[in-house]
Structure 1
């Protein structure tokens, strides 16, 4: 979702000046430091603003909403303006574009492309918030097909979803047989759990052998009040990393990283209105880190932020797994806005035992 600051216009002149400051010039280079703890489970290894307000082969490198590791070791970075970049991240968190392809719907029109997964054969699965939809593309951007989506998840009046608050996250579980897409916000008529947290739906698809994905179970996820689900990513053991994000004018962004487990959650496909009664069990979740608690590492912000490291963080990919440790790459969506930044973050997460 394109989260825009109410202060964008007023901050534009300040942003231009900040771009030339010595502090920002230092931030444009990869920044690394050992053991910068955000929490007992998470440390930040570095950040880079080097992609901010740049172009590649005539395309604006920004509006980045999702990341996924590609078959060739590059990282696919999805722009919500219907473009898919390939990034060389060997010097992470610094990244360099090496390829870009355009995406389109069945009529050749643009997408509000938000979620991304790379399938085991290298094809790309891409969500759009407009309908919502999940489409499949080859590596050259050719449209190959489209998955079924339950009627209730469609934008009203066709369904019960709110425009621009639908499929924001997408991930494939290990083995490539289970695909999951997360709604950003609750459906109309859905309520809260016992702790007062809004319940957001996560749809799955499953396949057997070479068959196409077919609709699978649907789960309820309890999002923090005032936040939406910006991204989900497979942790590698059946659990999910969930990125929750919100924005308050004059205060800035809130970005929290959770670990959630769908394996003991109820299938809520047939539950018209959540929470659905005592037999309905949402996903359990555990806070890994509030990114606002990370060391700022010298980062600067172009609008008010409680931590200048923060921006509109929207994309997340696991770039390396080693035992119970994960190396993560995150990206913020600048909305092509002078008051926001395209920023890459490198984090290391130690997963708690199931």
Structure 2
């Protein structure tokens, strides 16, 4: 989702160690002791792709990440482009344009690469989830509950719908997170919709409710863990202050199915998804990062994408990316975290 532009203020001089280019990325490195919290540490960050182009396409506006079957990274732009990146250098190796059934561009926000290589991609304007082939051909479109559709068809607000997307239960369940609350629901309570795979197709299944820490915080991304729990990003923006980005461990396994609950207003009998704060990204070491606008920590930007890329020494390797909105005062930045859950 594109966030409001604020006054551009350079908060620090650009350090040589953080000066990164697309052809020769320098990376700010950190020993594992550089902790954000007892559960999370920041290895390094990279601005290698900031304000670059590939094959005539702007490399930015990145809203989702996924690990492809060949080990490369897939990076989704909300301007209807899907990039393949070298997992080590982040150098783009290909780009595929994405459109809807009428050939119009998408506001593409969530990404899953299915076990057969097809791409499941959300658009937050309708909202929708479409299945694409590797060449960008539309294969299918998933059903969406009426209440989650944008008003007047439903109760959602445009550009505040499906932001996060992940496969759970060994690929049997697909989960999409709404970014903000529906009309009629209490502000800060967002719905997570699931689909069950049945005979090769995804059919509507249970829905759950998740409460963010504050009404101004939305959910830009979710990632499933093998045990059924989720990593959840909460993100918000305050003009003149900057971004708030927090990482949570959430457990939907005992939450109430809210698909039949018209209005979520904190009523008794509805068990919300339980969550535990892993870290506030503002607590991470700066590692020499600079910001082009006011931020609580110059490392911060408009973080929207997340992928679990592996395991090292008992910790998850988690990669985050920020969406620069193709804006001069924002940065496309990758964050390499190690997370203990």
Settle same-fold status: TM greater than 0.5: yes
Aligned pairs for 1:284-323 (under 5 A) are 284-321=274-311
Mind listing any 5+ residue stretches in structure 2 that lack a counterpart?
Answer: none
2:94 is matched with which residue?
A: 99
2-side partners of 1:309 and 1:271: how far apart?
40
Query: Any idea what SS the aligned residue of 1:207 has?
Result: strand
1-side partners of 2:335 and 2:38: how far apart?
18
2:114 is matched with which residue?
A: 119
1:273 aligns with 2:266: no
1-side partners of 2:20 and 2:318: how far apart?
22
Aligned pairs for 1:122-271 (under 5 A) are 122-191=117-186, 198-208=188-198, 210-225=199-214, 226-271=216-261
| Distance 1:23-1:285 versus aligned 2 partners, 3 A rule | same
- TM-score, normalised to structure 1's length? 0.91
Residues 76-129 of structure 1 show CA distances to partners (whole Å, capped at 9, x for unaligned) of 100000000011112xxx411111000000101000000000101010000000
Query: Any idea what SS the aligned residue of 1:213 has?
Result: strand
Query: Any idea what SS the aligned residue of 1:152 has?
Result: helix
2-side partners of 1:76 and 1:23: how far apart?
26
Find runs of 4+ consecutive structure 1 residues off by over 4 angstroms: none
1:195 is matched with which residue?
A: none
Root-mean-square deviation (CA), in Å?
A: 1.8
1:2 is matched with which residue?
A: 2
CA contact (8 A) 2:20 2:48 kept: no
2-side partners of 1:65 and 1:349: how far apart?
21
1:348 aligns with 2:338: yes
CA contact (8 A) 1:4 1:335 kept: no
Query: Any idea what SS the aligned residue of 2:19 has?
Result: helix
| Distance 1:188-1:317 versus aligned 2 partners, 3 A rule | same
Residues 32-69 of structure 1 show CA distances to partners (whole Å, capped at 9, x for unaligned) of 21121000000000000010000111110000000011
1-side partners of 2:213 and 2:267: how far apart?
20
Q: What's the CA shift for 1:275?
A: 3.5
Query: Any idea what SS the aligned residue of 2:328 has?
Result: coil
Mind listing any 5+ residue stretches in structure 1 that lack a counterpart?
Answer: 193-197
- TM-score, normalised to structure 2's length? 0.95
CA contact (8 A) 2:20 2:46 kept: no
Query: Any idea what SS the aligned residue of 1:181 has?
Result: strand
2-side partners of 1:211 and 1:97: how far apart?
31
2-side partners of 1:323 and 1:147: how far apart?
38
